[in-house]
Chain A
Amino acid sequence: MNTFTSFLERKLMPFATKFSTQRHLKAIRDAFICIMPITLAGGIVSVISAAPVTENTTNGFLLAWSNFATSNSTILSWINTITMGAMSLYIVIALTSFLAKSYKLDNLLPILLSLCGFILTSVAPIELGFDSKSAEISYMDGKGILAAIFISIVTVELYRIMRSKNFGRIKLPDSVPASLSETFASLCPGVVIIALYSVLFIIFYNMQTTMPGWIYTTLAPAFTIADSLPATVIMTAFVQLFWFFGVHDAAFSGILAPIRESGLSVNAAAKLAGETMPRIFTTPFWVYFVIIGGCGSVLALAILLCRSKSKQLKTVGRVGIIPAFFNISEPIIFGVPLMLNPIFFIPFILTSTLNCFIAYICTSIGLIGKSFAMLSWNMPSIFGSFLSTMDIRALILVVILIIIDAVIYFPFFKVQEKALLKEENAND
């Protein structure tokens, strides 16, 4: 087992390094972290709009809440549409900024160009009168994420290449101040980039769609696959496998964050519109149902550790249980340790994967509601599961999952405890 793990480590580490240092993936990951305050604000509004009432509700507070939400629905919907529901717009700004920064370019102009390109290709004009203009903005939500990523990368790359080759740089006399000649140097690249996006707009406009609309319809099967049971279970097992080698899952956020966040945004929009939510695999699904206590689902193990007879494990449990409650698993993972510890290989990967499997099935057959609001990574699962779905059964499911995790961890925990007790007794 030891040679096997060290063999895997040698193979997997360079892969993880490559993934987490790849410039574009890293910028995508940082962009998603950066827009969290905006998605959180949208999440809070989603929760306010979704009073948990049924036809039989008699509780005065809940009914008042529901009345408030109904009578202010336009206000609440608009706030949500412009925060969570315009996620792609913010991704364009953040991603362009991070990417430009990584090339050590001044980031303001690329941001402006990306923003212009994104709005041009993603918002569809309906009526452009003199005193009133209306346009269709639905693709600014999670459905526009791929377009947002595409536009940001294309803008920065084209801008960088043109600037480095001094494309269209107008020769100015030396007496012209440097800042002015910089502005002139970016004129041509800027116009070329906007011209390119205008052409894209014309093409898609003539096809009676928008760029994200076209991408979304063309890639619809891929989105369905990414949201399917096998895909979510495999993604979970994959992330857990790398965590076993101590690689933080942020290494793969460049790929996983767009999938999870677009699912969340699409569900949030559907929920507010009163339609059936299409997605299961969302950010809150991942944080509150799959990784209960952080990656490795260590909350259950932390509870076991606190009651351990081994002094060492008990210490780790006491240090780690509060962070684990807030979804930070590092103290437990490095303290027990779980990382690279062959004893825990099976439960470490199995617990979260099984959580994902069970929670997915419960959601898809309607035992618990779908998630549509993301509060915070650090909100404990028992609260987060309820608030993100507004379904009290989700909370019950999380408690059951913690018990299942504890049952899976228990025999392996006992093996580790026995080994440590032997050592500890020998030292006494």
Chain B
Amino acid sequence: MKVMLVCNAGMSTGILAKKIEEASEGKLECKAYGEAEYLDHMDEGYQLILIGPQIRHLKGQIEESVDIPVDTIPPQYYGIMNGKAIFQEIQKKYNI
């Protein structure tokens, strides 16, 4: 499953994308992009978008612009870069 992480500039979620990938042991492919550029990558087969809590006020707008599910990353997992917990949540929600 391909997951896209979107935050302000793709920097802090970049760290998190790596952690989620590691925790998923190859089940997920994660890439982080900034909010200005994510639309340019929508044709690359992503199935889920996770947005950083710092841009959660843009969730509605992002949802409108794409036709795949959009979720906000829980701040507490984001804070300690808990890729494992985020992976488990995706696993539960999307049965992979």
Contact = CB atoms under 8 A, between A and B. Distances in A.
Interface of A: 13, 16-17, 20-21, 26, 29-30, 33, 98, 246-248, 250-251, 315-316, 319-320, 323, 328, 330-337, 339, 378
Interface stretch (B23-31, B72-80, B86-94): B72-80
Contact of A333 (B58, B61, B79): B79
Contacts of A247: 54, 57
B1 interface: no
Given A30-B36, A248-B54, 7 more contacts: A20-B58, A33-B34, A250-B9, A319-B80, A323-B15, A330-B78, A334-B79
B79 A251 contact: no
B11 interface: yes
A339 B52 CA distance: 13
Interface of B: 7-9, 11-12, 15, 34-36, 52-58, 60-61, 75-76, 78-81
A334 B75 contact: yes
Contacts of B75: 246, 334-335, 337, 339
A17 B76 contact: no
Contacts of A378: 11
Contacts of A16: 57
Contacts, number: 76
A33 B60 contact: no
B81 A319 contact: yes
Contacts of B8: 248, 250
Contacts of B53: 246, 330, 334, 339
B69 to A, nearest CB: 20
* Residue among A13, A21, A98, A250 having the largest count of chain B Cβ atoms under 10 Å: A250
Contacts of A30: 36
Given A33-B9, A331-B12, A334-B75, A316 B57 contact: no
A251 B55 CA distance: 9
Contact of A21 (B7, B9, B56, B58): B58
Nearest to A327: B11
B26 to A, nearest CB: 24
B57 A251 contact: yes
A320 B54 contact: no
A80 B53 CA distance: 38
Given A248-B8, A330-B12, A335 B78 contact: yes
B89 to A, nearest CB: 16
A335 B8 CA distance: 18
Nearest to B56: A246
A98 B9 CA distance: 16
